Each structure stands twice: as structure tokens, then as C-alpha cells.
């Protein structure tokens, strides 16, 4: 299928910085084949008028738990460990495979409607998120959450599930897979070593939570005499390309390790604030040259999967924390939400920017909105005034998955019905938290 975005404003990578300019973008099958000049022999099955529209590379949510979408507004205003082990874990133990599937569907709807075209997910029930991704046309990288102690059978079973899920999804090139050791407080040192060795053997990346809370720091310090990031490094998790979610409590020594080992850090501002964990030292990370990307975490700890909301927090919080308006500029924030995320996933040659030869993963925004009027600086507008409702059309892998804000690949009303059935069955609509 050939699609042309005709005479549209686009954010394009420049030699020194991203720039906004009017152009036409030609899409054939799953890729951008030309920008500006119509390729010889190109046949357009669809022409999208770019008048009053802006096209951006699809946003990349580098850390979430999609199945948690039905836990939105549950277990609010609790301390981190009470939230996780006192409320969320008991709910998770009651989840069925179908619950996971419908939660993932709801998450994908929300992400797609706010311009996200790829997400990095840590999940529990195998095959269900992959099923939702396949059906929806979304792009995702999946990690089966791994919990274990040494070579115990429970941990070994979860690792087998991770490989089973990866092997069963080889027919979908929109899906990638990582190994997901959950965190140092749920994976001991022996288990981490096993996961790191298997990651090397299977040529897989690592996705792990690290240094999220003060209680985690205290627990790991008491048990191992080091920080969670030092523990991960000592046990080989960084011997393969790795994504570390949060790193809120990272020390200067931790940051040196992350830089030295080429670890990408996912900052999740809303979740970290809501759980009272603080602010990751993003400015120091960027100064050291660490690849920082952006995530929402799950809806149980964020309440939103809207990456525009996260982008706004990212570019505002650190100005206040560091008392300088130059900290994490709008342009830097945009890269963090796009190409930096692609780099963390090992997909920078495929997605994350609008370039000929890359996958056609795009979000088209309506500029005739109060939030983006006037059009003085559209890149700044994406960080400081856009809210995600401006996203009108989404293209993933060269296919239109949302048009005029209507999802074309998922029955939204059915999803909402199923989610309400889940919360009713579990009694989440009657219990006060």
C-alpha cells in the first residue's frame, strides 16, 4: 500500500538539531521510501492532506506494564512497598490470562490515542500482551517478569516461559523480546547471574527495575553491602545491552557504572512522584552521556499512559529541581521520547525519527487546537502545551491504525465492557483503598 502525507509539517532530524519544515512523505508497504521528492513509479493508494497538520515519529514508551491498565485508580496514596506487596501483588495473583489480555488492549488504546507507536513491556501472563499487540497493529518489546532465588524451579519456569513466548511470536516482526529480571528485591544474586548468562547465550537484552525507592536501597545495602545498580553490575546484568527503569536513587558511582556499561535509563516522572520515590538525576545522567529515555510505568502507579503528559513533567521537573530553565530543553525531551527510546530497544535504525528507509511509525497531530495555537515553536509546544488529544491519525508499520481519533484495529466499546466486568468480578469497584 502506498500512502503519501502531502504538504505536511514534519519534525525531521537535521545535521545539528531537529527541525520543523513542510514536506511530503512517501510510504510504501511498511517503510518511508522518500521525503520531499516523489519516488519514480510510486503509486499512492491513499493521500493524506497535510494542511494544518504536524507529523512526528511515533513516541516510544520505554517502560510500562500494560496489563495494569485495569488497576487505574486502585491503591493510590500508599508507600511504595505497601502499594506493591500489600495491594497490587494480591490483585495480580487473582488475574487470569484473559484479564491480562484485556488490560493490554486498554493500554494499547490509550497509548495509541496519545501518539505512542511502540512500548517496552514487563508482563506476567505469557502470550496475552503479544496477542493484543498482534491484533492491534502496535509495536512492542516484551519481557516476561522474572522472579527467583538461585536455581529454584519457580524462577526456571518463568525463564522457560520467556523463551516460549519469544519463539511463539516469530511470525510478527513488530514484536521483540527481552529478559526481565524484576528487581534486586525479588531476584537474588544467584538468580541474576543465571539470567545474565542466559541473556548472553540467547543474544537477548535485559529489562530491569533498579534503585527505585529508598526502601530498596536500604534492603540491598543491608543484604549485599552495595547499591542495587552495583549489585546488578556485579552479577553480569550489564554484560549485555540493558534497560534500567527508574534509577531514582542512583549515586554518582552508580551513574559512572551506567555510563561505562552503556546502560539506557528509563525515567518515569509521574510514577516516581506519585509513589513518593523522588526524581531521578536526569540532568547528571545527560551530562555524563547516558542514554536517557522515557516511560510511564504502569497505570497502577501512574494512572495514565499518556507520554505527552510524561514529556511535560520531564521537561519541567528538572528545571525546578536544578533551578535552571536550560535543564532538559524541549528539544532534548523530544529526543528522549523518540530516538533515545529507539536506541534503548536496539531499534534506532528502524524507528524513532522520520527518515527515508525507516519504518513508517508516525503520529499526525491536528494543529487547529488551542494547545498548539499559535504555532510559534512546535517542538516546544509538544513538551509544554500539547496533551495528546491533538493526535488525530496514527500509522504503524505503514498501516493506519487510528484515523480521526477512531482506533481501526480494536473494538473500543468491547474493551471497556470487558474491563468493567473484570473490576466487578474482582470487587475493585466496591473496595476502598
89-96 long-range contacts, CB within 8 A, separation 24+? 91/426, 91/428, 92/124, 94/426, 95/67, 95/124, 95/125, 96/125
How many angstroms separate the CA atoms of 242 and 48, rounded?
A: 39
Residue from 55, 1, 8 nearest 353 by CA = 55
Q: Do residues 65 and 123 lie in contact, with contact meaning Cβ atoms separated by under 8 Å?
A: yes
Question: Of 315, 360, 296, which Cα lies nearest the Cα of 55?
Answer: 360
Spacing of C-alpha 166 from chain mean position: 19
Residue carrying the nine cell digits 502545551: 385
- Report how far residue 216's alpha carbon sits from residue 185's, in angstroms, rounded to the nearest whole number: 7
Each of the 433 residues of the chain gets a pLDDT tens digit; together they read 799 999 999 999 987 889 999 999 999 999 999 999 999 999 999 999 999 999 999 999 999 999 999 999 987 887 888 888 888 888 888 999 999 999 999 999 999 999 999 999 999 999 999 999 999 999 999 999 999 999 999 999 999 999 999 999 999 999 999 999 999 999 999 999 999 999 999 999 999 999 999 999 999 999 999 999 999 999 999 999 999 999 999 999 999 999 999 999 999 999 999 999 999 999 999 999 999 999 999 999 999 999 999 999 999 999 999 999 999 999 999 999 999 999 999 999 999 999 999 999 999 999 999 999 999 999 999 999 999 999 999 999 999 999 999 999 999 999 999 999 999 999 888 766 5
What domains are there in the chain, each with its CATH number?
2-57+358-407 (2.30.40.10), 59-344 (3.20.20.140)
Enter the pTM of the model: 0.97
Look up cell 500539547; give the residue: 386
To the nearest 10 degrees (0 to 180), the angle between helices 189-202 and 153-168 is: 20
Sign of CA dihedral 25, 30, 31, 37: negative
Amino acid at each position: 500500500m502506498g500512502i503519501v502525507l502531502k504538504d505536511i509539517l514534519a519534525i525531521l532530524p537535521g545535521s545539528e538539531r531537529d527541525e520543523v519544515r513542510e514536506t511530503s512523505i512517501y510510504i510504501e508497504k511498511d517503510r518511508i521510501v522518500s521525503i520531499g521528492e516523489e519516488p519514480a513509479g510510486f503509486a499512492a493508494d491513499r493521500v493524506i492532506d497535510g494542511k494544518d497538520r504536524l507529523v512526528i515519529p511515533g513516541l516510544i514508551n520505554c517502560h510500562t506494564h500494560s496489563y495494569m491498565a485495569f488497576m487505574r485508580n486502585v491503591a493510590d496514596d500508599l508507600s511504595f512497598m505497601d502499594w506493591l506487596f500489600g495491594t497490587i501483588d494480591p490483585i495480580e495473583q487473582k488475574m487470569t490470562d484473559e484479564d491480562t489480555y484485556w488490560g493490554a488492549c486498554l493500554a494499547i488504546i490509550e497509548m495509541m490515542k496519545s501518539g505512542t507507536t511502540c512500548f517496552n513491556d514487563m508482563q506476567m501472563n505469557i502470550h496475552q500482551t503479544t496477542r493484543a499487540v498482534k491484533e492491534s497493529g502496535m509495536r512492542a518489546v516484551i519481557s516476561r517478569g522474572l522472579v527467583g532465588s538461585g536455581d529454584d524451579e519457580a524462577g526456571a519456569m518463568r525463564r522457560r516461559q520467556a523463551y516460549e513466548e519469544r519463539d511463539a511470536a516469530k511470525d510478527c516482526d513488530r514484536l521483540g523480546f527481552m529478559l526481565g529480571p524484576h528487581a534486586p528485591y525479588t531476584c537474588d544474586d544467584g538468580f541474576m547471574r543465571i539470567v545474565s548468562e542466559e541473556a548472553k547465550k540467547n543474544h537477548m537484552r535485559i529489562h530491569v527495575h533498579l534503585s527505585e525507592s529508598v526502601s530498596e536501597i536500604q534492603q540491598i545495602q543491608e543484604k549485599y553491602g552495595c547499591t542495587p545498580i552495583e549489585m546488578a553490575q556485579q552479577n553480569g546484568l550489564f554484560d549485555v545491552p540493558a534497560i534500567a527503569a527508574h534509577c531514582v536513587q542512583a549515586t554518582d558511582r552508580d551513574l559512572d557504572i551506567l555510563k561505562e556499561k552503556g546502560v539506557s535509563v528509563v525515567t518515569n516522572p509521574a510514577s516516581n512522584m506519585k509513589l513518593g520515590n523522588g526524581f531521578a538525576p536526569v540532568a547528571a545522567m545527560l551530562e555524563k552521556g547516558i542514554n536517557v529515555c522515557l516511560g510511564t510505568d504502569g497505570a497502577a502507579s501512574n494512572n495514565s499512559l499518556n507520554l505527552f503528559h510524561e514529556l511535560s513533567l520531564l521537561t519541567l521537573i528538572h528545571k525546578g529541581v536544578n533551578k535552571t530553565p536550560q535543564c532538559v530543553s524541549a528539544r532534548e525531551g523530544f529526543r528522549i521520547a523518540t530516538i533515545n527510546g529507539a536506541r534503548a530497544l536496539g531499534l534506532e535504525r528502524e524507528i524513532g525519527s522520520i527518515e527515508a528507509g525507516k519504518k513508517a511509525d508516525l503520529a499526525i497531530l491536528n494543529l487547529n487546537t488551542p494547545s498548539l495555537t499559535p504555532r510559534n515553536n512546535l517542538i516546544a509546544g509538544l513538551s509544554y502545551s500539547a496533551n495528546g488529544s491533538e493526535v488525530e491519525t496514527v500509522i504503524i508499520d505503514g498501516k493506519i491504525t487510528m484515523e480521526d481519533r477512531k482506533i481501526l484495529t480494536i473494538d473500543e466499546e468491547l474493551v471497556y465492557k470487558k474491563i468493567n466486568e473484570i473490576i466487578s468480578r474482582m470487587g475493585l469497584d466496591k473496595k476502598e483503598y
